[in-house]
Amino acid sequence: MAYADASAASIRYASAMTTSSAPEILILYYSRGGSVAQLARQIARGVEEAGGLARLRTVPPVAPVTQTAASPVPEEGAPFVAKQDLAECAGLALGSPTRFGNMAAPLKHFIDTLGAEWASGTLVGKPAAVFTSTSTQHGGQESTLLSMMIPLLHHGMVLIGIPFTESALNTTQTGGTPYGASHVAGSDDQRPLSDDEKSLARALGRRLADTTRKLAP
Ligand SMILES: Cc1cc2nc3c(=O)[nH]c(=O)nc-3n(C[C@H](O)[C@H](O)[C@H](O)COP(=O)(O)O)c2cc1C
């Protein structure tokens, strides 16, 4: 899927310093077909609308057999995440396609390497939010979002969702949930984000940046 709806201002792949007035939010996601990447860019817009800095990062794919190591830098899109990104961020948005009602293996694989960060409390007290995309309306968005929260709770993160005071949560006919942002991509994965899905993803980004600023030490 094309990166068509991205405005240059909404994509910030470079890192920047974190300050209490401009909290830096790590938006870490896996996306094979581009739907989760679209949500990531809307969340980045929301972060920046709230005066935060968005750092977009992705994870490499995994394979059931050993293959040539992936390039350290993707040819296009967000760079691969480094452990340092977790230490430097003040908040985290975590995104994955739904795979059988759960997060995709590449993201889980990365999370499973975070033993040292868990032990040292790298993420303790930092706000976090989750987002996903499915092919189908009832294909497991909420189970994916809720299960993505579990490792974040183990890391001591402070989870936030989307309140029903966001009017789009009452009107959406596709994605968008109180548990996090989401998109229904359709059976061919070609459906663009609806206005409600975009609005809710941006609202989540704003809320994440606002909460991060309020909780900043
Ligand atoms: C192995 C596999 C399992 C999937 N499981 C589900 C599922 O449980 N429910 C669903 O609605 N879609 C499922 N999908 C479809 C993806 O969630 C959907 O295509 C998503 O929009 C892909 O996001 P992406 O474009 O960011 O990669 C699955 C796709 C694959 C490849």
Confidence band of 21 (pLDDT split at 50, 70, 90): confident
* Topology of the domain comprising 8-215: Rossmann fold (3.40.50)
CA 40 to ligand 1 center in whole angstroms: 16
Residue-wise pLDDT for 51-63, tens only, equals 999 999 999 988 8
CA 189 to ligand 1 center in whole angstroms: 9
Q: Which atom from ligand 1 is nearest to the alpha carbon of 32? A: 27
Q: Quick one: pLDDT at residue 77?
A: 86
Binding pocket residue ranges, ligand 1, CB within 6 Å? 31-37, 97-101, 133-136, 139-140, 185, 189
d(CA 183, CA 192): 9
Tell me how crowded residue 217 is: count the other CB atoms within 10 A of its CB: 5
Residue-wise pLDDT for 78-101, tens only, equals 999 999 999 999 999 999 999 999
Nearest CA to ligand 1 atom 8: 100
CA 185 to ligand 1 center in whole angstroms: 9
First to last CA, the chain: 40
Q: Quick one: pLDDT at residue 8?
A: 35
d(CA 77, CA 127): 25
- Best residue among 98, 177, 191 to mutate for probing ligand 1's pocket (most ligand atoms within 8 Å of CB) is 98
CA 181 to ligand 1 center in whole angstroms: 15
Q: What is the DSSP letter of 70?
A: P
CA 119 to ligand 1 center in whole angstroms: 32
Residue-wise pLDDT for 148-181, tens only, equals 999 999 999 999 999 999 999 999 999 999 999 9
Nearest CA to ligand 1 atom 22: 97
Closest CA to 57 of 78, 85, 87, 36: 78
